[in-house]
Amino acid sequence: MPTLLQALLDTEEFASCTSLERVFSGGEALTHRLARDLLAELPGVS
C-alpha cells in the first residue's frame, strides 16, 4: 500500500532496516516517484 510505504519512508529509522529484501505494494497505484524514493532509501530492496 503506497500510503504505508510513504509513512515508512518518512520514518528516520527506516533506512537502517538492512534485513528488508523485498517490498510488495498493492491496493493503490504506486507512483514512479515513490518507487524511486524507496529504492534510493533502501538500495538493496527489490
- What is the model's pLDDT at position 3? 92
pLDDT tens per residue, range 2-36:
999 999 999 989 888 889 899 888 888 999 999 99
DSSP state of 29: P
Confidence of residue 38 (pLDDT cuts 50, 70, 90): very high
23: Cα separation from own chain's centroid? 7
- What is the model's pLDDT at position 26? 87
- What is the model's pLDDT at position 36? 95
How far apart CA 19 and CA 41 sit, in angstroms, is 13
- What is the model's pLDDT at position 10? 95
